Amino acid sequence: MSNIVVAGAAGRMGRQLVRAILERKDLKLTGATEHPESPHLGTDAGLLVGNESLGVEIVPGIDSVIAPFDTVIDFTAPASTRALLKYAADQGTRVVIGTTGLDDNDQSLIKETAKKTSIVFAANYSVGVTLSLELLAHAARVLGPDYDIEVIEAHHKHKVDAPSGTALAMGHSIANAIGKDLKDCAVYAREGMTGARPEGTIGFSTVRAGEIIGEHTVLFVGQGEQLEVTHKATDRMTFARGAVRAAGWLASQADGLYDMADVVRPVS
């Protein structure tokens, strides 16, 4: 039995993570955190998701969790994730990270922390998206340089970062497959007299509207044909169940940095 803490438990994903943990018999929710100004501090995490009381009150930060735990699932904000990583490095706590908007320094901090504990870090915890990353890499290698590539993503109007972490992960998967660095070939904005499309670039388009949970389409456009790879999420529980699956899987892993592909990979 793994004891789990959900960081940001009162948020959109936090509540879904609590629900997903309650579906599992091999995991137990023993802690829930929120930011110090949250109006939900002191609320029982079970009542917050329409369940019966769990005896797990939402507290202001990981240092305030009293019950024993071994893994934290974190879908919060970069500043909160940085603080959690420092805690994990000191305490050896396992971490599943779904925070988006992390920069290069944050990525380096994750890698350093993974030398002292085990971490799963993925841009998207959907099994379907995990498979699509492999499909996109294969398509890019097979189709070659004669196909223009565009990544189109859509999310709800509350999302604060763009492009999405999943769109960037798709871009990285494609770029790596064809021997490029995404930093050198990505085009994130077009406006005015842009001129002809530069060869070998990967374009990104972003939509923010309503309550779209998450949609990603990659276009491979060649002479006389067009291939589209699309993933649409219709329920946030897809991501929550994937992250909770990762937390359960992480319990038996050695220290190191893993991604969702490691979690879903069949045991040979």
> Which of 35, 40, 116, 159 is an active site residue?
159
- Tell the CATH superfamily of the 127-233 domain: Dihydrodipicolinate Reductase; domain 2 (3.30.360.10)
* Phi, psi of 72, deg, nearest 5: -120, 130
For the residues 141-151, what does the mean pLDDT come to?
97
Looking at residue 216, its pLDDT comes to: 98
Give the separation between CA 36 and CA 210, rounded to whole angstroms.
Answer: 29
Q: Is 158 a catalytic residue?
A: no
For the residues 206-216, what does the mean pLDDT come to?
96
Give ∠ CA 87-29-78 in degrees, rounded to 5. Answer: 40
Looking at residue 266, its pLDDT comes to: 76
pLDDT tops 80 at residue 254: yes
pLDDT tens column, 67-83: 999 999 999 999 999 99
Give the separation between CA 197 and CA 177, rounded to whole angstroms.
Answer: 21
CATH topology of domain 2-121+236-264: Rossmann fold (3.40.50)
pLDDT tops 70 at residue 268: no
Sheet strand arrangement including 148-155: 186-187, 202-208, 148-155, 214-222, 225-233
- Domain range list for the chain: 2-121+236-264, 127-233
The full DSSP string for 64-120 is G--S--SEEEE-S-HHHHHHHHHHHHHHT-EEEE------HHHHHHHHHHTTTSEEE
> Which of 86, 138, 155, 172 is an active site residue?
155
